[in-house]
């Protein structure tokens, strides 16, 4: 994935520009018009500093702004300089410094923090793409963050293993929302992506559970569903770690049925085991994996949400499953305030 990004100026250059801006605004008020350049306009360089500078440089900028305002007060008098405007500038300086301090302490100093967050979003999107499947097999993965934001705690990891004859994937829902959930999702997705194909399928979820248990996160759990499909004969195995049930569409009967695989969520217990449920995807069949953001609504039974999802999934059958992932998310939970993840896998022949 390639994206065009604006690269921020070096901090030293940004400080010089902001200091010059503060001085020019002050000079404008003294020589041109206090109506055009009032003292309150000094909030502009302070806002720029909050976004671009670390604490040390921010302190230097605040000192320059204070000096400009002091000269203004001496030249015009305290009342003429407007006490309210001076208080507004002082509050902006305090808030801007705290913002700069917070970003520096988290390692996201300056606008490099924005670049980091963009990289985080891009990495999660790339990791959510399914591998190219052999003829007759098709799959779609859809991930939508809560409220239309850029980050989600839902993610997909997938790989072709066994010499390309087996598809192995996991749909995971990390606890929490927003950037916090997104950072945990990135860390966990990297770990789980490394486990795919490195362990026997039955060892994957126990190993993921041990990894998550060691992290000791405040919100230290995740739900997951692990799917392994033999692309030669269509047989598959599903394991669930506290995840909503997988749905299998049987082209022979024309109906969706829910699978019963279940187990404890990842990170709750140090030692767990998971029993797989097995099945077979024949031509025309499909599998639907999804996170609780698609079916769970406060005050409504989970079964009602699942019924709604399967009802919409039945409407896909006459038109075909291509593009069905986006349609399902939009129709079922287009305006949800929770993260939503979905994987649709089907076999055409």
Mean pLDDT over residues 303-309, rounded? 94
* 252 contact partners, CB below 8 Å, separation of at least 6: 282, 284
Confidence check: pLDDT of 243 > 90: yes
Looking at residue 107, its pLDDT comes to 56
pLDDT at 89: 87
- Look at residue 279 and tell me whether its pLDDT is greater than 50: yes
Handedness of CA 150, 151, 154, 157 (dihedral sign): positive
- The answer to whether residues 137 and 231 touch, using CB atoms and an 8 Å cutoff, is yes
Q: Are strands 247-250 and 222-230 parallel, antiparallel or unpaired?
A: unpaired
Q: Which strands, in side-by-side order, build the sheet including 340-347? A: 137-144, 340-347, 286-290, 247-250, 255-258
Mean pLDDT of 122-138: 82
pLDDT number for residue 61 = 93
Confidence at residue 120, expressed as pLDDT on a 0 to 100 scale: 56
Q: What does the pLDDT read at residue 194?
A: 86
pLDDT of 183 over the 80 cut? no
Q: Quick one: average pLDDT of 74-103?
A: 76
pLDDT at residue 348, as a whole number: 93
pLDDT of residue 315: 94
Supply the pLDDT for residue 179: 66
For the chain, how long is the longest CA-to-CA vector? 88
pTM of the predicted structure, to 2 decimals: 0.69
Which residues does residue 248 pair with via DSSP β-bridges, in sequence order?
A: 257, 287
Lowest mean pLDDT, pick from 123-132, 222-231, 270-279, 292-301: 123-132
* Location of structure tokens 């934001």: 149
Place of tokens 């639907």: 288
Give me the sign of the Cα torsion angle 287, 291, 294, 300. positive
Cβ within 8 Å of residue 93, ≥6 positions away: 46, 62, 65, 66
Which of 106 and 90 is assigned the larger pLDDT?
A: 90
Given this model, what pLDDT does residue 201 score? 92
Domain with CATH 3.60.40.10 in the chain: 116-347
Query: Can you tell me the mean pLDDT for 86-101?
Result: 85
Average pLDDT, the chain: 85
* CA 13 vs CA 20, 55, 161: distances in Å: 11, 15, 50
Q: Per-residue pLDDT for 44 more than 80?
A: yes
Between CA 75 and CA 324 the distance in angstroms is 69
Residue 150 DSSP SS3: coil
Give residue 77's pLDDT.
64
- Separation of alpha carbons 179 and 101, rounded Å: 18
Q: What pLDDT is stored for residue 336 in this prediction?
A: 77
Q: Directed axis angle between helix 112-127 and helix 178-195, to 10°? A: 50
pLDDT more than 90, % of the chain: 47
**116-347 CATH pick, 3.40.1620.10, 3.40.50.2000, 3.60.40.10, 2.40.110.10:** 3.60.40.10
Quick one: pLDDT at residue 306? 95
Read off the pLDDT of each residue in 253-257 and give the average, rounded to a whole number. 95
Lowest-confidence range among 15-24, 172-181, 231-240, 294-303? 172-181
Q: Which residue has the higher pLDDT, 2 or 219?
A: 219
Q: Quick check: 5 pLDDT over 50?
A: no
Q: What pLDDT, on a 0 to 100 scale, did the predictor assign at position 100?
A: 81
pLDDT band (50, 70, 90) for residue 121? low
Higher-confidence position of 258 and 54: 258
pLDDT over 60 (residue 1): no
pLDDT band at 99 (very low <50, low <70, confident <90, very high): confident
């Amino acid at each position: 994935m390639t994206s065009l990004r604006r690269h921020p100026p070096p901090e030293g250059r940004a400080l010089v520009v902001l200091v010059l801006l503060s001085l020019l605004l002050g000079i404008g008020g003294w020589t041109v018009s206090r109506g055009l350049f009032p003292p309150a306009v000094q909030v502009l360089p302070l806002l720029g500093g909050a976004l671009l500078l670390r604490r040390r440089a921010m302190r230097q900028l605040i000192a320059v702004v204070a000096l400009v305002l002091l000269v203004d007060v001496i030249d015009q008098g305290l009342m003429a300089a407007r006490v309210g405007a001076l208080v507004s500038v002082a509050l902006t300086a305090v808030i801007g410094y705290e913002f700069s301090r917070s970003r520096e302490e988290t390692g996201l100093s300056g606008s490099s923090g924005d670049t980091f967050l963009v990289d985080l979003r891009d990495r999660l999107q790339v990791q959510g793409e399914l591998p190219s499947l052999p003829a007759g097999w098709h799959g779609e993965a859809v991930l939508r963050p809560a409220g239309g934001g850029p980050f989600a705690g839902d993610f997909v990891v997938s790989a072709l293993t066994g010499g390309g004859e087996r598809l192995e994937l996991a749909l995971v829902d990390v606890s929490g929302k927003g950037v916090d959930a997104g950072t945990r999702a990135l860390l966990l997705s990297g770990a789980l992506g490394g486990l795919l194909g490195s362990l026997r399928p039955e060892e994957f979820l126990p190993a993921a559970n041990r990894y998550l248990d060691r992290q000791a996160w405040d919100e230290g759990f995740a739900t997951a569903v692990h799917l392994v499909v033999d692309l030669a004969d269509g047989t598959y195995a599903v394991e669930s770690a506290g995840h909503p049930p997988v749905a299998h569409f049987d082209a022979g009967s024309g109906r969706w049925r829910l699978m019963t695989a279940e187990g404890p969520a990842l990170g709750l217990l140090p030692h767990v085991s998971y029993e797989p449920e097995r099945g077979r995807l024949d031509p025309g069949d499909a599998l639907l994996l999804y996170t609780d953001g698609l079916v769970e609504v406060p005050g409504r039974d989970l079964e009602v949400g699942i019924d709604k999802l399967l009802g919409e999934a039945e409407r896909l059958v006459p038109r075909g499953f291509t593009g069905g992932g986006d349609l399902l998310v939009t129709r079922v939970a287009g305006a949800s305030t929770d993260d939503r993840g979905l994987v649709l896998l089907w076999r055409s022949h």
